[in-house]
Amino acid sequence: MVRAINGGPALPTAKPPRPYEKGVDERPTLIQNVETLAHAAWIHINGAAAFLEEGTRNSPGTALFTILDHHGDCTLIEAPLGMKLIELVELAGIDHHEVARVLLGGWFGGVHGQEVLGLEACFTALKVAGSGLGCASITLLGVNEDVRAIVAALGAWYADETANQCGVCRNGTKSIAKALFNNANGQATDTDLENLARWGTTLTGRGACAFIDGAATLARTTVAVISSKQFMEPRAD
Ligand code: SF4
């Protein structure tokens, strides 16, 4: 955004400097989402100590959780960071027994089996688990949903939406999309699955922004999910 305002292409730059160090017209520039600015206003009125009373030590405060369920219904909940994902799901009025898989962080935190619902919904716990809270968007997939087709569609989205600026992202997203497509069509070779698992770690952190990290996390977690003992193909009915 800063680069575009300064007259350049709307593409991420190498960091540092970050915008708060040198941004619009080379001056320190704050870029925050509305939720963060709302927190800042709340803290200004109520004080930092009150904010720290909510959430966990490493992830204080609250977050706006967007929960999209397998019926297509969407619920927005403000809740303290650190609540169990399963508690958020129940708060949204969803029976967790109907949840087969979970996409986290939009889908930048990858796809997971329903056992992930036992984790705390906070930045720290999900990062330790190899995922991420990201924008706090949680998508629940039911037992009848074809997770292979869904992750293949997400892989294609990464390949379409890459800014094509970094070679590792331009080529990596396309390779991941191809392997996920093969997986969805029952044509994945052992090499496809080995590549997905490997790219899931080797590509992380290699781009000018975190976009390729999201594709890598999807690749890695997809292999983990479909290799899981609990993995079931969608029911035919
Ligand atoms: S990592 Fe991908 S999306 Fe990010 S700047 Fe590089 S090419 Fe663009």
Give the pairing type, strands 137-142 and 62-68: parallel
Q: How do the pLDDT tens digits run along the chain, 237 residues long? A: 999 999 999 998 888 899 999 999 999 998 888 898 999 999 999 999 999 999 999 999 999 999 999 999 999 999 999 999 999 999 999 999 999 999 999 999 999 999 999 999 999 999 999 999 999 999 999 999 999 999 999 999 999 999 999 999 999 999 999 999 999 999 999 999 999 999 999 999 999 899 999 999 999 999 999 988 666 565 544
Share of the chain above pLDDT 90, in %: 89
Ligand 1 site, CB within 6 A:
11-12, 162-166, 169-170, 207-209, 211-212
Gap between the Cα atoms of 64 and 218, Å rounded:
23
CATH number corresponding to 63-142: 3.10.20.600
CB atoms within 10 A of CB 38: 14
Residue 106, SS3 per DSSP: coil
The predicted pLDDT at position 235 comes to 52
Question: Which DSSP category does 235 fall into?
Answer: P
What token pair was written down for 74? 């969407």
pTM: 0.90
The answer regarding whether domain 147-227 maps to CATH 3.30.310 reads no
Top mutation candidate among 11, 176, 203 for ligand 1, by most atoms within 8 Å of CB: 11
How far, in Å, from the CA of 7 to the mean position of ligand 1? 19
Domain spans of the chain, in order of start: 63-142, 147-227
Q: Which residue has the tokens 């999900």?
A: 126
86-116 per-position pLDDT tens digit: 999 999 999 999 999 999 999 999 999 999 9
Beta bridge partners of 16: none
Choose one of 3, 158, 164, 165 to mutate for the ligand 1 pocket test, by most ligand atoms within 8 angstroms of C-beta: 165
Tokens of 140: 């629940």
SS3 223: helix
